[in-house]
Amino acid sequence: MSSVLSLARPDILQLQPYQHATWDPSLERMHANEMPWRASGDNSAAGLNRYPEPQPKALVERMAQLYGVPASRVLVGRGSDEAIDLLVRAFCRAGEDSVVICPPTFGFYKVAAKIQGAQVVEVPLLRDPFALDVPAVLAAGHRAKIVFLCSPNNPTGNLLDEATMLGICRELSGSSLVCVDEAYIEFAGRPSLAGRLGEFPNLVLLRTLSKAYALAGARLGTLLAGEEIVDLLKRIIPPYAIPASTVEEVLQLTQAPQRASSAARIGTLLEERARMQGRLARMPAVARVFPSDANFLLVEFRDARRALGAGKVVGLLVRDFSAAPGLANCLRISVGTPEQNERLLAALEHL
Ligand code: PMP
């Protein structure tokens, strides 16, 4: 067994996976206890009376093409949230194993670990700029199963240093997976680490269609990793995980013309991000605007509650992070349309 698989839960390695109804579109289906007719009004291509293909081949190939990796390195799931959950389930024994997170960061790593009964070791980001505390991450990582890094990080907005992340990955090979969540990478003007997967068997990447591709409602996330990790996770992903409607919509909405329009939208969003950064930084109500490589801005206000209230008065909701450790008076503002941004800026300028 390779060293990376030896990190997985032994009972999961032994598990006899659920046997799906065989997928063979050349034969008519009388083997899956489905209704033979469509529901009335069902105009879907595949027919919603039928279970979808597990890990649909066309979808996996589309994501492989989108992210520039071979299809064997791709696992698709219901959002990257599902990929996080699967990783923790496959690698962490309840009550025994741990994951490392670097707060302030995306909240679901911790929740997924706790649901699984894994311990969560927190190694806070260093400040000014937000950056990894490498010796502390390594010390905790040597005793953990998964180190979650988020780049660009939510909610701070900044990229983590690529050489540092890969250095951590190298140091921890044989002792821990390093999962780099690239949910916001398309806004960063930097390439993904996908091209480096071949060099690091313990590197796992998370990508999503929820942000740059404007498909959060479709719920499609992709995990990119070595084949062995992908094959292991395929054994535990719930049967028929991706709804047929999602498969059809995603195949339709990630073709070349849609990809071009999404690239153009990202361009507009980045212009708006810069405009908001400039305006916010000059406001008396604002103590600090943190640099952002993502589609949101972390902003420290003099009085976050007043700023939150001013947004609500003009019908806009931003996210309050002021209770998070180290983020007193901070709000996270997702960049909106130019009209929404203008409405928010005008409201905050009057504070
Ligand atoms: N990772 C990060 C860093 C996120 O911010 C989010 C969603 N806010 C996710 C993952 C989950 O994304 P998905 O919609 O793909 O489940």
DSSP of 223-239: EE--HHHHHHHHHHSPT
Best of 101, 153, 154 to mutate for ligand 1, by most ligand atoms within 8 A of CB? 154
Question: What per-residue confidence (pLDDT) applies to 157?
Answer: 98
Best of 82, 87, 108 to mutate for ligand 1, by most ligand atoms within 8 A of CB? 108
Whether 115 and 109 have beta carbons less than 8 Å apart is answered as: no
Question: What per-residue confidence (pLDDT) applies to 350?
Answer: 87
3-state secondary structure (DSSP) of residue 24: coil
Q: Specify which residues 181 forms β-bridges with.
A: 150, 206
**Pick from 41, 42, 44, 21: nearest CA to 33:** 21
The DSSP code sequence of 130-182 is TB--HHHHHHHHTT-SEEEEESSPTTT-PPPPHHHHHHHHHHTTTT-EEEEE-
In terms of Cβ atoms closer than 10 Å to its own Cβ (0-12, 13-18, 19+), residue 43 is exposed
Question: What per-residue confidence (pLDDT) applies to 334?
Answer: 98
Rounded Cα–Cα distance for residues 317 and 333 (Å): 9
Output the CA 67–ligand 1 centroid distance in Å. 17
The pLDDT tens digits for 307-347 are 999 999 999 999 999 999 999 999 999 999 999 999 999 99
Question: What per-residue confidence (pLDDT) applies to 252?
Answer: 97
Question: What per-residue confidence (pLDDT) applies to 57?
Answer: 98
Output the CA 151–ligand 1 centroid distance in Å. 12
Question: What per-residue confidence (pLDDT) applies to 3?
Answer: 85
3-state secondary structure (DSSP) of residue 8: coil
Q: Which two tokens stand for residue 157?
A: 């907005």
Stretches in the chain below the pLDDT threshold 50: none
Question: What per-residue confidence (pLDDT) applies to 1?
Answer: 66
Question: What per-residue confidence (pLDDT) applies to 2?
Answer: 75
The residue whose CA has the least distance to atom 13 of ligand 1 is 79
Q: Is the CB of 80 under 6 A from ligand 1?
A: yes
Output the CA 341–ligand 1 centroid distance in Å. 22
CA 41 to chain centre: 34
Minimum-distance ligand 1 atom for the alpha carbon of 210? 14
Question: What per-residue confidence (pLDDT) applies to 271?
Answer: 98
The DSSP code sequence of 252-295 is HHTSHHHHHHHHHHHHHHHHHHHHHHHHHHT-TTEEEE---SSS
Whether 73 and 55 have beta carbons less than 8 Å apart is answered as: no
